[in-house]
Amino acid sequence: MSSPVYVENVNKALEFIADKGIKKVSPMGEVTNITVFGLFRKEDTKEMAVFKQMSEESRERILFAYTDIPQSASIAAQLKVKLPAVVLSKFDDDLQPTSMYEGNFNLSELKMFVQDNKLPKLGALTPLMFPEIRRKFTSIVVLFTDGTDRCQQPMDSVREVVKGENFSNVSFNMMEVPDNISAGYQVLSKYIVEPSVPHIALVNFQKGEVFNYISETFLTSDLTNWLKNVLGGKVDPSSMLTKGNWKPVNKGYDFLKFIDLAKKKKKMLEDKKKPMPADKMNEVPAPDMFEEKLKERPMEDSEDSDTRRDLFDLQNSRLYHQAPGRTTHKHEEHGPKGKPPGEDENNNDIKKQPPKDAHDELPSSKLGQVR
């Protein structure tokens, strides 16, 4: 999101760390339920620098914070980790709310740790999470519930299945269906003809297959066997998701590239206007300089030519021009130099030519064949 937040006291630090069994709210719950908190000592300067770099390079909805107060050691002892350490918290995941990192403070390894642990083991399915779920998993299980007592047993069974960790390629999620206008109801109605809760469905992302769990009981053993049979190809899909063409309708343009090119051209013009220092006036460039410039030219020309071609495409697109035949302009209603239609420059009448006969378009060799 941005540079990490520095925390100066123990109580504030504990707000950034989720606690299993205790319902806590993220410090920025309206923005994100995920925090990544760094625990350091004063001497851990290199590790803190890597942590800050990871935070600054992140483009995800994650809150980064850190501290190097003396009480960091006591916090680490409570979490059973050694300093320096990183704690990733998911405030909407009561199965595994925290994940600890104690490895080598390498930037790529830290980023991998966040990627592997940021999704809840069992959480509420949201539009923000869905793209990440599709990238990481081959299938998704959704428990549709309305939060009433009748949904408690299915909820408990799904929790036990998740704790078993027997389905590593499956993402387990929940969706609330409080009424027939909610997002959960809209999704559920795509899976079954008559939506009702509780309901469990599995969707295979690669094939677009939907499998509905049809049973009066929601025992953990029954649910586990059903999942094994579905993933093993022993169950026919209940339905198929409709395929859609997700390609862009029209060509897109990289406007950031255009902006960079404009800045580059502007800087070149400004450099040309700058007077050359007196000590450089009679300086003869070294031969190696010409070779370096020649090596740089192909890459620059290639990049500029691609951008220039995009600019020409943009100029010829409908963003700049109205489609022919949609608008009649006033200047089209006059003859040459603004004369009324039917008059030439000398105010003489112009006789309208009769329309060509279709036979006139035929080659001369074919005229004899027309009867």
pLDDT along the chain (371 residues), means of 10: 85 90 73 92 96 93 95 95 95 90 92 93 87 92 94 95 94 94 93 93 94 94 97 94 54 60 74 64 51 48 60 58 46 48 52 46 39 37
Judge if 213 and 179 occupy the same domain.
yes
pLDDT in the model for residue 356: 47
Judge if 133 and 200 occupy the same domain.
yes
pLDDT in the model for residue 2: 65
- Burial pattern 289-319, b for ≥16 Cβ within 10 A else e, equals eeeeeeeeeeeeeeeeeebeebeeeeeeeee
- Among residues 165, 236, 238, the alpha carbon closest in space to that of 200 is found at 238
- Cβ atoms of 105 and 113 closer than 8 Å: no
Judge if 33 and 82 occupy the same domain.
yes
Q: Return d(Cα 39, Cα 65) in angstroms, integer.
A: 9
Residue 146 lies in a domain: yes
Residue 23 lies in a domain: yes
Residue 290 lies in a domain: no
Judge if 179 and 80 occupy the same domain.
no
User: Can you give the residue range of the structural domain that contains 57?
Assistant: 5-118
- Burial pattern 31-66, b for ≥16 Cβ within 10 A else e, equals ebbbbbbbbbbeebeebbebbbebbeebeeebbbbb
pLDDT in the model for residue 357: 45
pLDDT in the model for residue 6: 96
Instruction: Provide the whole-model pTM.
Output: 0.59
Residue 331 lies in a domain: no
Judge if 138 and 87 occupy the same domain.
no
Residue 247 lies in a domain: no
pLDDT in the model for residue 261: 72
Judge if 103 and 150 occupy the same domain.
no
Residue 335 lies in a domain: no
Number of domains in the chain: 2
Angle between helices 45-57 and 107-117 (to 10 degrees): 60
Domain of residue 84, CATH code:
3.40.30.10
- Among residues 132, 115, 124, 93, the alpha carbon closest in space to that of 36 is found at 115
Residue 158 lies in a domain: yes
Judge if 88 and 26 occupy the same domain.
yes
Residue 188 lies in a domain: yes
DSSP code for 200: E
pLDDT in the model for residue 228: 97
